[in-house]
Amino acid sequence: MIRNTVTSIAQEIYEEMGEPDDFSIAAIAAWVRRNIGGLNNSLNTSFSIDSQTLEITPNLTDAEKYIFKKMYSIYFFDIKIKSTGSLAINDYVSIKDDIGTVQKLNKNEVLKSFYNIRQQEYKELKDSIYKYSLNASSPLQVAGDDTFPGSYRSERDALYYIRSIYNA
């Protein structure tokens, strides 16, 4: 099994986010180390950061790594929303006169786009956590013998047989 180091996870996140100029692999690696508890809370796991190597122990599975990446993606878009929202919002998109045209990016539309992407990422995160939890769970109890064949002759007798089992 290939070891999922914090740096390799950060590198994957950085590349999947399109190598943004305002984030670095080192900053993402620091985020990964700081937010291992959030992954534990979401998945009911017990990962930790080794104090000697500063790596995640035990290794993450592909599903756990995917969920961690989604968590970072939400963080990334939260930062984008905050930085876009703090800028002065312009009421105009373009101005024309006889000499030329000036167009400005409507920051409200940019903010809406970031928010919609963040909502989609959040939905995918919740779905992934649900599926992970469903696959990780096992039944608490298995009762009865499902291999015991019923003895009945017709559909009406089958209904009587089922009722007689539960009413016994």
Q: Is the pLDDT of residue 72 over 50?
A: yes
Residue 64 CB burial class (10 angstroms; 0-12, 13-18, ≥19): buried
Q: What is the DSSP letter of 86?
A: T
Q: How far apart are CA 31 and CA 10, in angstroms?
A: 9
Among residues 59, 65, 64, the alpha carbon closest in space to that of 16 is found at 65
Mean residue pLDDT of the chain comes to 81
Pairing state of beta strands 56-57 and 48-49?
A: antiparallel
Which range, of 65-69, 132-136, 150-154, averages the lowest pLDDT? 150-154
pLDDT value at residue 83: 83
Look up the pTM and report it: 0.70
How much of the chain, in percent, has pLDDT values that exceed 90?
A: 44
Residue 35: how many CB atoms within 10 A of its CB?
Answer: 15
Contact partners, residue 92, CB within 8 Å, separation at least 6:
104
List pLDDT tens digits, range 156-167: 555 555 555 555
Whether the CB-CB separation of 89 and 107 falls below 8 Å is answered with yes
Q: Is the pLDDT of residue 126 over 80?
A: yes
Q: For the residues 141-166, what does the mean pLDDT come to?
A: 57
For residues 48 and 1, the model is more confident at 48
Q: What is the DSSP letter of 59?
A: P
Residue 67 CB burial class (10 angstroms; 0-12, 13-18, ≥19): buried
